[in-house]
Structure 1
Amino acid sequence: MKNLNIENRRVFGPGDWGNTGRYIWDAANIKYSNRFLTTQMVFGYNIMHQPNVFPNVNKEGTYAFATFNSIKNLPFLIDLFYVYKYDETGKYISESNISGNLYASYIGSKVQKTHHNLNLMFLGAYQFGKYATDKISAFGITTQLNYKFNTTWKPELMLTYIYASGDNNLKNGIHQTFDGIFSGSDTDLYSWMNFIFWKNVHQYRADLILNPAKKISVRSEYHAYFLDKTKDAWCFPGKAMRQDKQGLSGSFVGQKLDFISKIKIFKWFQFWGGYCFFVPGDFVKKTGNSPLAQWFFGELTFIL
Structure 2
Amino acid sequence: MKSIKFSLTLDSPICCDEEDCAYQENFILPGSMIRGALANLYLSAIGKDQNFDSIFLQDNQFPFLFLANTSGEPGKYAPKTTMACKRKGKEHTLQSYVEDLVKPLPPMQCTKKSCGNDLKPFSGYLGTEKENWQIRFTTHTAIHTKTDTALPHALFREMLIEYKERDKDKQKKPDFCGYGLLSEQSYSILKNLCEQYQILLGKSRTRGKGWAKMSLEEKKPEISRKSLENKDYFTLHCLSPAIMLDEFLRPALFFQWKGKELKLVASQNSICSIRGWNVIQGLPKVEDIAIELGSVFLFQKDDSLKEESAFAQFIEEIEEQGIGERRIEGFGKVRINDSIVVDPKPGE
TM over 0.5: no
TM-score by length of 1: 0.24
Larger Rg: 2
TM-score by length of 2: 0.22
- Larger strand share, 1 or 2: 1
